[in-house]
Amino acid sequence: MDNSYPKAEKLKSKKIIELLFTEGKSVSKYPLRLVYIPYHFEENIPLKVGVSVSKKYFKNAVERNYFKRVLRECYRLNKSLLVDHLEAKYCLMFFYQTKEKLSYSEINEKTKQLFEKFVKTLQDEKNNS
């Protein structure tokens, strides 16, 4: 599995981000939250992912940027947990939602748990339909 996070996988479209907030479903594993929506895009990639850290919790941009870098790195290292189990293409928004300054290893562990919960949620939705 390719452990990269190329430009094509970065969620930049304001239209899609707005759609995520209006119609997206979410999965949480404190302090992380994942908002997702199935979306067909032309590129041959399974996911488009954006990360966000609230200004409400971290007023200082340096701290926000640090946690965004950590979230991107955790996604990059663990994206195989998602890609191997997805059948459709998805757009995801990945949030860090606490004032606590967790260590990288704690965030990475929570990311793994969140991705496993997301895959399980998708399987449950598929089985119920």
| CATH number of the CATH domain containing 76 | 3.30.230.10
| Mean pLDDT of the region 1-9 | 84
Residue 51 has what pLDDT? 96
Count of structural domains within the chain: 1
- Asked whether residue 129 is assigned to any structural domain, the reply reads no
Instruction: Indicate whether 77 belongs to any domain.
Output: yes
pLDDT computed for residue 128 by the predictor: 84
Tell me, what's the pLDDT at 4?
Answer: 87
Q: Give me the mean pLDDT over the 48-69 stretch.
A: 96
Buried/exposed 54-85: b ≥16 CB within 10 Å, e otherwise: eeebbeeeeebeebbebbbbbbeebbebbeee
What does DSSP say about strands 47-53 and 90-96: parallel, antiparallel, or unpaired?
parallel
Instruction: Give residue 1's pLDDT.
Output: 56
pTM for the full predicted model: 0.92
Length of the chain: 129
Q: Answer whether residue 33 shows pLDDT above 80.
A: yes
The predicted structure's pLDDT at residue 43: 82
Query: Does residue 55 belong to any structural domain of this protein?
Result: yes
For residue 82, pLDDT beyond 60: yes
HSE-CB at 21 with a 13 A cutoff on CA atoms is: 8
Is 72 within the bounds of a domain?
yes
Provide the domain limits for residue 76. 7-117
Average pLDDT across the chain, whole number: 93
Position 42 confidence tier, pLDDT thresholds 50, 70, 90:
confident
Predicted confidence (pLDDT) at residue 12 exceeds the cutoff of 80: yes
